[in-house]
Structure 1
Amino acid sequence: MSESIPQEFWQGIEQFNSGQFYACHDTLEALWIEASEPEKSFYQGILQIAVALYHLGNRNWRGAVILLGEGSNRLRRYPSTYSGIDVDELLSQSAALLTTLQQTGADKIIADGLSENQALLLPKIVLTND
């Protein structure tokens, strides 16, 4: 892990947690393009989850399910906490949302959207002290 975490990373995390998923994607993608491993895959995992939540907001069930899975799979390679992020908590919340989406199904999400489906708890990124 790099000694210094770029300020843009924290901006992306704030955007994620405030529901600005498209902006989060743009912020983290700029970092991802320039990064080397292991940070490159870490940024990509978070931005894939952000894009999944963006898709969900647009009633794109399939895009949400695919990217939640891909982002989670990428982040599973990292320790419980990494770069000041509680990775296990993000994975747990993402898995719960993925399960709910799979059980609810595309038709209900597309018909009802997010506002009327209170069962959908969107993940938040929890910061750690490491």
Structure 2
Amino acid sequence: MVFWQAIAHFNHRQYYECHDTLESLWMEATEPDRSFLQGILQIAVALYHLDHQNLRGAIILLGEGRYRLHHYCPMFFDVDITDLVEQSGQWLHILQMASLEESIPTGLNSYGFNPSIRPWGKVRG
């Protein structure tokens, strides 16, 4: 399924590819799927921005994606949404603190992020 290909791209930190794959689904989707896909898209693009030193763009899209996805907790499309919302909340807090300190981002690795979207019921490890 195309959706799981996009998730694989996300989990391999291929955020641009994740975006491209999900966008085709999002454009044809209807609610409630459309908003769910948009939330995942926003988080993927936020991480892409972070990898390209766009801290402001990352913060904005993380916040928007997190807000959009929290309506789908705990699970949607067989994805552990609660875990993704919690991860993105932690990232958002770290990035907001970096923004206040005027730190210059150098990508995900400099923040110790290990982003992943996992299927419902799979233990993080």
Fold similarity call, TM over 0.5: yes
Structure 1 vs Structure 2 CA RMSD = 1.5
Matches of residues 7-86 of structure 1 in structure 2 within 5 Å?
7-86=1-80
Equivalent AA in structure 2 for residue 93 of structure 1: Q
Distance 1:43 1:115, change over 3 A: closer
Deviations 1:80-118 (A, max 9, x none): 0111100000000000000001111273234xx02762x
Q: Give the count of matched residue pairs.
A: 120
Moved segments of 4+, more than 4 Å: none
CA contact (8 A) 1:100 1:120 kept: no
Partner of 2:113: helix, strand, or coil? Answer: coil
Q: In structure 2, how many angstroms separate the alpha carbons of the residues matched to 1:93 and 1:46? A: 13
For structure 2, the residue ranges without an aligned partner over 5 or more in a row are none
Match of 1:124 in 2: 116
- Percent identity at matched positions? 48
Deviations 1:47-101 (A, max 9, x none): 1000000000000000000000000110011130111100000000000000001
Q: Calculate the TM-score normalised by the size of structure 2.
A: 0.90
CA contact (8 A) 2:36 2:69 kept: yes
Distance 1:91 1:115, change over 3 A: closer
